[in-house]
A = this chain, B = another copy of it.
Amino acid sequence: MARVTIKDIARISGYSKTTVSFAFNDPSRIGRDTREKILRIADELGYIPDPVARNLSLRRHGTIGLLLPEVISFAFYNPYLSQIVQGIGEVCERENHSLTLIPPIRESLMEGIRRAAVDGLITIGLEPGMEAVEFIQRRHLPFVAIDGRVGGGFPVVGIDDFTAAGTVMRHVLDLGHRRIAIVAFGREPKLSTGSHVKSQRLSGYREALEGVDPELPDEVTYVYAAPSLDGGRQAARTLLDGRERPTAIVAMSDILAVGIIDALQGAGISVPDDISVVGFDDIPEASLVRPQLTTVSQPGYEKGRHAADSLMSLIADQESPGHIVLHAELVVRASSAAPDTVSSNSR
């Protein structure tokens, strides 16, 4: 049997489409008998209104989109994304919305934005001036950016990455480390490119380094890695193969730090006795691994929740809810310690 449409119900019941629609959506507009008759027929035929046609009429979709900077199969290697999704999810459930994950197509966000049948978008790391931003605005889609740069006429939810990065780097420096490696995510080896978050954190690291010694930023080893466990493992191997081993590794995200620790331990290196490792994010895994990870706690769940809240009010009011800067703080655990003064770990 083919799909049952409102037209079928109208034809069989003898009423018009309008009346059938009212029977479901605005019962007070029609007579009780009329309604009962229509509902009975609809039930018998198993009528379910086509959601797409419904959405088209209502100009509501009951879905918000999450525009991912990476393909789904890769993005979820980082539990940090799970936390953001959870926070968004809390709001979705409150508002009875679903959540559409929109991956880039052929390395571009455009096509995903073009085809998104959603009430609004949450983006990760989108910045003023990017082509994707213009495109979203041309579609008149309400949107909120997580981890973006302020100043493009859209609300941004984030933390002060510059300050947070400085805090964790100063912790490492205060412990006495000077041979330091920074493991950044992304593929670009240049400071000036890449996301706002990345450049902010790098700048924060460098400022802390300069505070100790103006030449220190240039003595630091930089390694770039994909934000996943394996990315961290590879970064660790790269560092171990290097000429001079660092006494501390500062990773730009926890998933990298955890992968680094795993690889170091696999190579028989003790953390933090031989090498200290610190991260960024404070994902749940940070306190599960041994040694527990020293890191900067930034609230991924809260970022998602606030972004979704802002988006909902944007959708409802058309009024911009303003930027939100969430709190981040250093969490000192067991993966960082003073460097071994005997320097037994250099080769």
Contacts and interface: CB of A to CB of B under 8 A. Distances in A.
Contacts of A279: none
A48 interface: yes
Given A3-B140, A117-B55, A288-B289, A86 B73 contact: yes
B48 A139 contact: yes
Interface residues of A, number: 58
Interface in A99-137: 99-103, 105, 111-112, 114-117
A159 interface: no
16 contacts: A48-B114, A51-B115, A52-B52, A52-B61, A72-B86, A72-B88, A76-B86, A79-B79, A92-B103, A93-B103, A98-B115, A99-B100, A117-B117, A258-B288, A285-B285, A290-B290
Contacts of A92: 72, 103
Interface string A180-193: 00000000000000
B93 A102 contact: no
A229 interface: yes
Given A55-B52, A98-B102, A79 B82 contact: yes
A138 B86 contact: no
A71 B86 CA distance: 9
A76 B89 CA distance: 9
Contacts of A105: 93, 96
